[in-house]
Structure 1
């Protein structure tokens, strides 16, 4: 029975230093998680300043640092193992003469059958024409090789990167809505729906002309955008990053849905009322116009009829492509040369590419002055095992929701270009 010699590693200062840094960073992360407790209550963590988001971000930075330090140690271990193997080979070649060893070449490789035969007495002692020569025994390895198929497959560690599903980024649209807060179940306001200015020059003793004003009460209901995800106890217990991943991904889903609703929500049922569905907004059909011409005509209506200044245009990437690739008759790009970053504006108004916009329309308006996202309650994330049979199945229900209302105070300050 042959006993394989233990692996030799030649330690050197750089390896020792790298291992020390890795151990220290591991301890820092372990102490922080112990401080938070099994419920990951970040309010208990006193070693890191800031709110929950700052503390979670610190945990993320520790994980990233651990990955870099582990990679550094692994690289230095490769060098240390190579040095140990070289040292062992040198000692075997020059010192351990009484220990039988396999025939090897100078570079340490096992000799082939041909090399063994050439070096044998059978080859060296043979004389041409004699018909026979001395015999020799070739030491050829016949046992099954200990390969990855018969032994361990190579161990590959995950990089730590999680590639997210390709989906629409958010927030993208709501950034242009001024955000306020409300303590009510709806946002109620008055809109001046009749304005007749009868003012005119009048002679002495003449009759004054009668003006007309009328106000109408408007209201936008606060709506709840919600989502939940079932997760097993083991997933959170065995993978520390799973909880942070879920708690970040669910709020993203809410922001993504909110981005869509404030632009194209139809206002029925529990839907928010998006810009494109507001009654009384400006409309402009593309018709035979170019896309830039049709967009300018909409802007003109918003300025001339709505007495407002457009602050953003939301348009699909495929439709903005038609604008970006416009050329003059001699082939010069109107919106800038391909080698240069093109202007993301049209007629001086920021153009926002988003697939949240309607497929064949562009939406624009004076969001800065006449739109509002009223937040009744910000994003709230809660965890419970009381849903359905989750308690006896060892599952958790993680839910997230937000309550908001989208308000467009002056409909004529907004509009849609159709037929793109």
Structure 2
């Protein structure tokens, strides 16, 4: 509308103005309630939206009045006065600004409503499940109930024993465990499977014989070497006991699921993805199969960051572009604290807020990586996670010990496989900081 306002008014075509306004979405709008926002003067988002909508409708009616008056005068052959043109232009501008404000508020409330619906924790999804509510609402719950918690990619072991002490006259959430940031999964390609094993071809090497050839002559043959490989689906699981009263305490149960069960699985999954031995029920991890670091091209590393750069080069020479570096937090802190002869930081910035990067690639710092070690690679192309079973939470009273002691068992588990397609796209080695 704003792009036409001068042309339609100066040209005298008031019919176009009226028709254009009739086509605009001025009808009733759905506005979602949202919490008060800063600067809103104590008004809710819905109240602000209603206020802006009223302002917009008032200005719309004013523009419509001016347009209809101008159209009537144009039909009588009377030219539109310059002052009237300016007033019409101002009214249109004011209306467009009000419309933009209204659209912005509605979009923000829609996003907030969508986020509030999607950003529920694992514990919230569990305690809000209708089946669980029915199970927990029994006077004496007997049997078991399972809830699949799809937003949990990892639910692993916690110390054995009872958490019945959480059931107190005055309910508290409990003390949270120390938290490790889980990051390795995000580096890898994601997938799903309905099988107990993933069969795939592992690439062992590529001989590129492509070359210019004369017409009528034989073309050179390139070779890609593969070997058959299988990635078995492994289960990560654990359980704990709690007082049966926890079933009637949604906040306490949610805390157990989110702060204990979910975090425990993620903790072990992170270690398995990196360091799993492939023996028994362990995944075969990235470090286990990665290609040992060997400085290519006769280049020599003078510092730790040079070693990492040469690791990136080694991955690139395997024809896969690297997309990240995994380090122990101690080694990353050492790198960030490197200084030149004048005491200026080479890498780190004590006041910086940007994500950690080195040689243009993101750095993932995790304690699952050994100290003085590094892993670089084209992670998203070299390996892929296949989730067989999204993490599930199960509660059960079906146990003689539970019945006698008035306890309930809460179990969480997930099943996944890790397929590593090209070992040369992962490089693992020593940084040389520790003798």
TM-score by structure 2 length?
0.56
Contact residue 295 and residue 417 of structure 1 kept, 8 A: no
Q: Give 1:228 shift.
A: 0.6
Which among 321, 340, 359 is matched to residue 309 of structure 1? 321
Find the counterpart in structure 2 of residue 251 from structure 1: 262
Q: Give 1:359 shift.
A: 2.2
Q: Give 1:338 shift.
A: 2.2
Q: Report the RMSD for the aligned CA atoms in angstroms.
A: 3.4
1:10-89 to 2 correspondences below 5 Å: 37=133, 39-40=135-136
SS in 2 for 1:39: helix
Find the counterpart in structure 1 of residue 336 from structure 2: 324
Find the counterpart in structure 2 of residue 115 from structure 1: none
Contact residue 291 and residue 322 of structure 1 kept, 8 A: no
Contact residue 229 and residue 398 of structure 1 kept, 8 A: yes
* CA distance 1:159–1:236, shift in 2 (3 Å): closer
Which among 179, 193, 198 is matched to residue 182 of structure 1? 193
Query: Residues 196-225 of structure 1, C-alpha deviation per residue, up to 9 Å, x if partnerless?
Result: 455667789988766555432111111000
1:269-418 to 2 correspondences below 5 Å: 269-278=280-289, 281-284=291-294, 289-304=302-317, 306-341=318-353, 344-387=356-399, 389-418=401-430
Contact residue 186 and residue 221 of structure 1 kept, 8 A: yes
* CA distance 1:299–1:394, shift in 2 (3 Å): same
Q: Give 1:406 shift.
A: 1.4
Q: Give 1:327 shift.
A: 0.9
Contact residue 327 and residue 363 of structure 2 kept, 8 A: yes
Q: Distance in 2 between matches of 1:52 and 1:268?
A: 28
Q: Distance in 1 between matches of 2:130 and 2:375?
A: 51
Q: Distance in 2 between matches of 1:220 and 1:212?
A: 25
**Which structure has the bigger radius of gyration?**
1
Q: Distance in 1 between matches of 2:254 and 2:373?
A: 38
Find the counterpart in structure 2 of residue 166 from structure 1: 178
Query: Residues 207-250 of structure 1, C-alpha deviation per residue, up to 9 Å, x if partnerless?
Result: 8766555432111111000111011213444x442211222221
Q: Distance in 1 between matches of 2:210 and 2:134?
A: 73
Q: Distance in 1 between matches of 2:175 and 2:355?
A: 30
| Stretches of structure 2 lacking an aligned partner (at least 5 in a row) | 1-127, 138-146, 151-168
Contact residue 335 and residue 343 of structure 1 kept, 8 A: no
Q: Give 1:389 shift.
A: 2.6
* CA distance 1:365–1:392, shift in 2 (3 Å): same
Alignment length, in residue pairs? 274
Contact residue 148 and residue 393 of structure 2 kept, 8 A: no
Q: Are 1:216 and 2:227 counterparts?
A: yes
* CA distance 1:413–1:33, shift in 2 (3 Å): closer
Q: Distance in 1 between matches of 2:354 and 2:205?
A: 44
| Stretches of structure 1 lacking an aligned partner (at least 5 in a row) | 1-31, 42-50, 55-156
Contact residue 277 and residue 283 of structure 2 kept, 8 A: yes
TM-score by structure 1 length?
0.57
More helix by share: 2
Q: Distance in 2 between matches of 1:337 and 1:201?
A: 50
